[in-house]
Amino acid sequence: MLKDALLIWKFRSGDSGALAKIYEDHRQNLLRIAAGLLNQTSAAEDIVHDVFVRLAQSPDKVRLQGNLRSFLATCVVNRVRNANKAAQLRRTSALDEARAVAADDTGPQRWIVVNERLTVLNNALAQLPYEQREVVLLHLQGEMKFRDIARSQGVSINTVQSRYRYGLDKLRSLLDGEIL
Amino acid sequence: MKPENEVERFVADTGLDTHAERDREILRDVLRAHDDFQQRRSQLRQPQTWRTIMRDHSRKLATAATVLLAVVLFFAVSDWMTKPAWALQDAIDALKDFRAVHIVGAFPGGTADVWIRANTSKTQSSDVVVKGSHGTITWTQDGATYHYEPNQNTVYYEHALTLGVTQWLGPELLEMLSTAQNVEVVRGKDPATGRDRVTLLCSLIDVQGAQSWIIEFDVASKLPVAFKQWGNLDRSGPPRFDALKVTYYEDLPDSVFAVHIPGQPVYVQKPLTIPDENIGVLSDTRDGLSAEGMTQQEAAERAVRTMFQAVIDGDLATLRKMCPLCKNWGDEFLRSVLLKTGKNQRIVEILKIGPISETGHSKLGPIVALPIAVQRQDGLRAEQRVIVQFRTLGGVSSCVVHGPYGLAREIK
């Protein structure tokens, strides 16, 4: 937490080395969360790319209430929600794009190196309702507390805990025989 | 939040790798965006910074963290030191072997590296260099202060040491702090390291305007390890300078203080100014002396002579009448910091008052700066520039001493 505060202090003071360190420390986890939420690696890459660029352009807006990992995870989630809303407005074309991108997921320009375990997990996560998926990923990969997730989703902590429980139960059945 | 079962562990532990080349490309994008933002911010802040420098004496060197110490030490300061709660003497003992200090910190819009070295007698700073993250450099040399702005390829200068520490770290500091009236001490632990620390909070109004500080001392090493400075009395808003790291040296080589400016910059002298917030204190018609029928030189010389004679005589009433800013401080503090009662550095004689060297204007009227050479009890001679404020109040012309213009210099 203090390490995060120091890093943010340096970053806000104009230290590009601090920004590079934030990127180095968090890019893979953010990609993991974005990919889990979207189940599209190219879209996930765009989201995380945008999050870092926006972060670089607005250091004064960084207000750390928890840890940096949670803060960045929340940024990713917010962007994914925006992307989802936009996608709902042009649902048909979005689905077409998704298929096209999925076919290109292993190309040389890709950022994420897709592995079998990640594919299994993301395919399972994709079958959860979005809210459950978000809670599971933010709690387990973003290391966010239920209280903070509840604030982020605008629901009660009980609702978040229920979503988490239902999400895990469904994942358990989906991943049965896949984990071990 | 630890995973409790296999599914949770599977989700938490499933990682991914990234293509290194793409990592580098995206990092380049991110850093480019950051650079663009920094440049835009710098351009937006530049005119404002300079306007602030022009207008506000206390901020004339916006990158100068050292102003902090200058004030703490010049006029500073309460009785908390006399209490046994915390032995500042230990801190002073720890400090007195160091002749140089390196400070890393941030000011609004960037970071700064500050190097300060004391004079050989360790009474005050003699060399200061402040290097800002955007290429600005501020330094002192031969009794003048310079500030290089790379975006303007310009060096602004003034013939006074307005950057530095008026009282070097040592026993004198202890004595000044022991006479302070507005200091608060808080004991606690450093949340970062868990080490015991003592935090000193203080504020005052002086020639630099309103100032306040938080200074943190590490209890084990007895050394000040961090500080923040604000340009107001209540430490509100972002600090003017936030020093995160302070490193002490027995000495530093001359090369650290040798400044080389690239290219052929334009040199521009800074105008003489005083803080607007001090105008009110200088406006009392009962203070100062009449300037009717006198030239500015005659009146200014008389005001400065009267003030310094009051310092020699230990006449606090006259001192406060001639230099109204002194009304902000108690008797004990004035004797300790200005009169230096019982000290070798006490002024014993006025040697010479020179001609007006700089002129300017405040909201109250014309201001002038002129040098005064004095003999100290320790045999050394010093030159101090002083700013005098002229005003016409109720149709009567008069003047008062605003205060010192930069640090005093030892002379031969």
B367 CB-contact burial (10 Å; exposed 0-12 / middle 13-18 / buried 19+): buried
Task: List the 25-84 stretch of A: residues with Cβ below 8 A of B.
Answer: 27-28, 31-32, 35, 49, 52-53, 55-59
Concatenate the DSSP letters of all residues of B387-410 into one string: EEEEEEETTEEEEEEEEESS--EE
Tens digits of residue pLDDT in B343-389: 778 899 999 999 999 999 999 999 999 999 999 998 889 888 999 99
The complex's ipTM works out to: 0.84
Nearest to B16 among A109, A115, A168 (CB): A115
By three-state DSSP, how is residue B283 classified?
helix
- Structural domain boundaries in chain A: 2-175
B244 contact partners, CB below 8 Å, separation of at least 6: A6, A9, B104, B105, B106, B226
* Least confident span in A130-134, B1-5, B296-300, B340-344: B1-5
Instruction: Tell me the two tokens of residue B326.
Output: 């002194």
Contacts of B16 in chain A (CB under 8 A): 28, 31-32, 35, 112-115, 118
Q: State the average pLDDT for chain B.
A: 77
Contacts of B30 in chain A (CB under 8 A): 19-20, 23, 52-53, 55-56
Confidence class for position A100, pLDDT limits 50, 70, 90? very low
| Rounded-to-integer distance, Cα B221 and Cα B344, Å | 30
Q: Average pLDDT, stretch A171-175?
A: 88
Nearest to A19 among B3, B19, B31 (CB): B31
Tens digits of residue pLDDT in B84-123: 334 455 556 666 678 888 888 887 777 888 888 888 777 7
B71 contact partners, CB below 8 Å, separation of at least 6: B204, B206, B208, B211
Beta-bridged to residue B230, according to DSSP, are B212
Helices A16-38/A130-140 angle, 10° precision? 140
Q: Is the pLDDT of residue B49 over 50?
A: no
A46-77 per-residue burial string, b: 16 or more CB within 10 A, e: under 16: bbbbbbbbebbeebeebeeebbbbbbbbbbbb
Q: Average pLDDT, stretch B274-282?
A: 85
| Rounded-to-integer distance, Cα B210 and Cα B54, Å | 17
Q: Is the pLDDT of residue B4 over 90?
A: no
β pairing state of B266-269 and B154-158: parallel
A110 CB-contact burial (10 Å; exposed 0-12 / middle 13-18 / buried 19+): middle
pLDDT for res B79: 24
| Rounded-to-integer distance, Cα B158 and Cα B162, Å | 8
- In this structure, the number of other CB atoms found within 10 A of the CB of residue B79 comes to 14
Shortest distance, CA B396 to any CA of chain A (angstroms): 50
Instruction: Tell me the two tokens of residue B57.
Output: 């004496």
Contacts of A10 in chain B (CB under 8 A): 111
Shortest distance, CA A150 to any CA of chain B (angstroms): 15
Q: Give the CA angle between residues A43, A49, A51 to the nearest 5°.
A: 105
Confidence class for position A99, pLDDT limits 50, 70, 90? very low
Beta-bridged to residue B211, according to DSSP, are B204
| Rounded-to-integer distance, Cα B152 and Cα B118, Å | 31
Contacts of B19 in chain A (CB under 8 A): 110-113
B327 contact partners, CB below 8 Å, separation of at least 6: B281, B320
